[in-house]
A and B are shown apart, each in its own frame.
Chain A
Amino acid sequence: MKNRVAVTGLGSISSLGDSTDKFFESVCNASLDFRKIEFPEDYPDLKIYGSYIEELDPKFYLGDKNFRPLDRTARLSLIAATQAVESSKWDKEKLHTNEVGLSLGTMFCSLQSITHFDYNAQTAGVQYAKPLDFANTVINAAAGQLAIWFGLTGPNTTVTTGYTSSAQSCLQAYKTIIYDQAKALLVGGVEELSHPAVIGISRQNNLAIEKEHPLPFDKNRSGFLLGEGSFFMMLESLESCQGNKNIEAEILGGANKFDISQGKDKEQTVSTVIKTINEALAESNISADKIDFVYASANGSETFDDIEAIALSQVFENNNTPIPTTAVKSITGDLLGASGAMQAVCAIKTLQTGKLPGTPNLTDSIIDSDKISVSQQTIDIDANTGLVINIGMDGLICVMVVGKLC
């Protein structure tokens, strides 16, 4: 008998809000916050928009403590993780006593810090490279900083599977609990909008250059815009927490796959996406007609939005009514490795409020199936079970199913 996995706490920070409620309200109100990214003077002069936090002051959230050892990625993680820990009624002592672990998904983690450390050593001199900053050049730096902050002495894992990183970290944590290897885990995702990443992704021609907002599922889409933020959940085995905790939702299951064509063979990628969704549904013991809404992965990519739309139309082809679907990255931007956790947090809020955010600025949809319904506006739905999809342009696909506790 496998354990069931409850979500007992949520935490969020992005430019759209510094709590889960504020963030979700902004998403439902389609409060877009894309601004031109300001690069250092010696960077290429690019007109790229992104959704990022102008001033991030951890003292405002966590009091007057020494945040010097934590870089931006760790600070974002810490703010969101603190909310998840506090809302799930854990405290530092209990986390330590119970040897609670952490699983953090990120695509780049501290790329900005890593780049700066090397740049500083090369320009100012090796003697000016700060040992304190070196600690933040390992890719598991943020996870290590969180462990120190909260006294998390359980397994400490950083997961990097590109765009699906935090979805994968949630899936890993889910499996750890269902197989009784842990009773509780703090899981989440983080992505800082770092200049080296923006330059690099722009070189891949994946960004919507000079566009002020992305257009997922729209015929006029030309790429995605980046966001930044961190999103966390406290996961616990239902058996260990039922009766004494506020349970936000249940993780019902999930699945992941690798598509070697990486979108080059459209038919093959569609097939892999469908297989991943079907496997996630099977793992969750649920059929497609019981899914009430979909948080799509669509971000404005010319190739992958199309692939996802086709896959969804086939997964839900036997439904009598169209499946309500949102491309929430139209509002948040693509948070890369943090996207999965962000979408999962949003999906849980949809379960709680019955509100499914819209896909603003969608005027000329690519979706020609009557099995999928993508609305510009936030809609009210009867939401008991939702699907969270992450499709990476690198071939990695991860799907989760979340539901109300019943």
Chain B
Amino acid sequence: MLEQEKVVVTGIGLVTPVGIGTTNAWQSILACKNGFGTVQSFDTSKYRVHVGAEINDFNFADHCPELAKNYYGRTTQLAIVGAKLALENAGLQNSDLTDLRKGVAMGTTSGEPNQVERFNNHRIAEQWDQLGAEYMDTYPCHSIPSNVANTFGFHDLAPIMLPAACAAGNYAIAHATDCIRRNEADMILAGGADSFSRITYTGFARLIAIAPEICRPFDKERKGMIPGEGSGFLVLESLTSARKRGANIIAEIAGYGTSCDAHHMTGSHPKGDGAIRAMKRALKDSKLTTSDVSYICAHGTGTKSNDVNETIGIKNLFGDNAKDVAISSIKSMLGHTMGAASAIEAGICALAIKNNILPPTANYETPDPACDLDYIPNAPREGKVSVAMNNAYAFGGANASVILKEFNN
């Protein structure tokens, strides 16, 4: 490997069911606020479940009035606002960045599924005349990072969409890390976005994977996940660039690891095989060991199988250290924001490092013998967070672990 640039986090933008804006989302998570409610965006009367994690107070025009006239899908809107908040958080909103090589790397599970739903609504209603060019201008998911790139002038690199389902945000961060390490870019907006979708909700409902009321990851009484929506972006920057402009460095991307279970399309490997390989690769890439890890931001969906398999994977890799590492699932509050999830969680890892606060797993009541690690139940914990591992697992068996660490000058 050639000599690498260091990659640092200089901005975080979060749009979540528990708060829009990085500070709002962080404070809500520390307060164990639930983002769940009765689904508003479509009729669930024919479903057995009715709860979702929608962002009901999200209004694109409030955040980007100058763009309100444009036709964007909801995922694109969430992404643009997430990216804008990340740039503001980095203090870049009014900066002249023309000398920097900038790009956008994104992940998603479904892109703009609402456009497919629109297509079907028109088909069923025999209203083809109401389907215009906007359908195909909007649906292909690569249009989302292209719109982010256009909006903020981050188009020195070709924008890219890496749809790795629920691990997609981490895949985007990994890609951006490579680009900066290889000195192809100075600054990349890396993140993920997904909007609340009838298709996704129907699928998880049919898998009987949706919890009826509340999400309780790692709890013996857990009943499933709760689909959500959101976006998360990190401003990733080469250390050279960050130093040059005197940026506030929140954390460093130490490394990443990706793998595939090659086992099942919707279920994780029962021994955590792929997850272990992703974590191992991430540690190797970061030149760290399991004993260095202070905190694991778990995938922690709240389904029976995920939480057990994830626990098995951590225990197999961490061995005796497994009981000592603090683990939590913020999906207990946000629900599962799909392709945005691991990007949002990476932002939370960076905030945990910056503030030396471990975010909790909410709604945890009954310990499960099969999930017997420290899940930081129901309240945040103060403590030194030097190294945070962010784990994400996805349909198709895609796994991605990203490790963030405290930046030491």
Contact = CB atoms under 8 A, between A and B. Distances in A.
Contacts of A200: 119, 131, 135-136, 139
A199 B131 contact: yes
Interface string A149-174: 01111111111111011001000100
A158 B163 contact: yes
A12 B150 CA distance: 35
A316 B141 CA distance: 35
B199 A155 contact: no
A60 interface: no
B332 to A, nearest CB: 23
B146 A156 contact: no
B206 A134 contact: yes
Contacts of B120: 115, 118-119, 122
Nearest to A126: B46
Could you say which of B113, B159, B160 has the most chain A C-beta atoms within 10 Å of its C-beta?
B160
A79 interface: no
A153 B141 contact: no
Interface in B378-405: 394-398
A257 interface: yes
Contacts of B143: 162, 394
Interface string B249-268: 00000000011111111100
Contacts of B109: 138-139
B262 A148 contact: yes
A247 B207 CA distance: 45
Interface stretch (A15-23, A365-373, A395-403): A395-403
A368 to B, nearest CB: 30
Given A129-B203, A162-B142, A394-B146, A153 B277 contact: yes
Interface in A194-241: 196-197, 199-201, 203-205
Interface stretch (A106-114, A326-334, A338-346): A106-114
A: contact size bracket: 35 or more
Contacts of B2: 2, 179
B398 A140 contact: yes
Contacts of B200: 137
A181 B273 CA distance: 20
B328 interface: no
A145 B124 CA distance: 31
A99 interface: yes
B128 interface: yes
B132 interface: yes
A159 B116 contact: no
Given A111-B116, A147-B396, A152-B260, A397 B202 contact: no
A277 interface: no
Nearest to A44: B128
B84 to A, nearest CB: 18
Interface string B105-121: 00011110100110111
A2 B2 CA distance: 8
Nearest to A198: B136
B119 to A, nearest CB: 6
B124 A203 contact: no
B182 interface: yes
Given A139-B111, A160-B142, A396-B142, A145 B265 contact: yes
B137 interface: yes
B161 A160 contact: yes
Contacts of A122: 120-121, 124
B116 A162 contact: no
A125 interface: yes
B257 to A, nearest CB: 9
Interface in A355-388: none
Contacts of A395: 146
A196 B263 CA distance: 31
Given A134-B203, A154-B259, A256-B158, A148 B265 contact: yes
B260 A138 contact: no
Given A147-B396, A256-B158, A204 B136 contact: yes
B324 to A, nearest CB: 29
Contact of B171 (A118, A157, A161, A260): A157
- Give the interface centre of A129, A144, A161 by most chain B CB atoms within 10 Å: A144
Interface string B1-45: 110000000000000000000000000000000000000000000
Contacts of B136: 197, 200-201, 203-204
B123 interface: yes
Contacts of A150: 262
A295 interface: no
B373 interface: no
A140 B163 CA distance: 6
A62 interface: no
A28 interface: no
A196 B116 contact: yes
A147 B396 CA distance: 8
Given A126-B47, A131-B203, A258-B157, A140 B264 contact: no
A143 interface: yes
B264 A161 contact: no
Nearest to B159: A258
Nearest to A139: B163
Contact of A108 (B140, B149, B165): B140
B322 interface: no
A175 B182 contact: yes
B334 interface: no
B123 A43 contact: yes
A196 B112 CA distance: 14
A360 B133 CA distance: 30
A37 interface: no
A158 B1 contact: no
A102 B261 CA distance: 12
A118 B202 contact: yes
B395 A99 contact: no
Interface in A41-66: 42-44
18 contacts: A2-B2, A99-B277, A114-B113, A114-B116, A114-B199, A122-B121, A126-B46, A126-B47, A129-B206, A135-B266, A137-B203, A140-B394, A155-B258, A155-B260, A156-B164, A159-B162, A203-B131, A260-B149
Interface of B: 1-2, 46-47, 108-111, 113, 116-117, 119-121, 123-124, 126, 128, 131-133, 135-137, 139-143, 146, 149-150, 155, 157-165, 171, 175, 178, 182, 198-200, 202-207, 258-266, 273-274, 277, 394-398
Given A139-B110, A153-B274, A205-B133, 6 more contacts: A126-B205, A134-B266, A138-B394, A153-B261, A158-B163, A158-B164
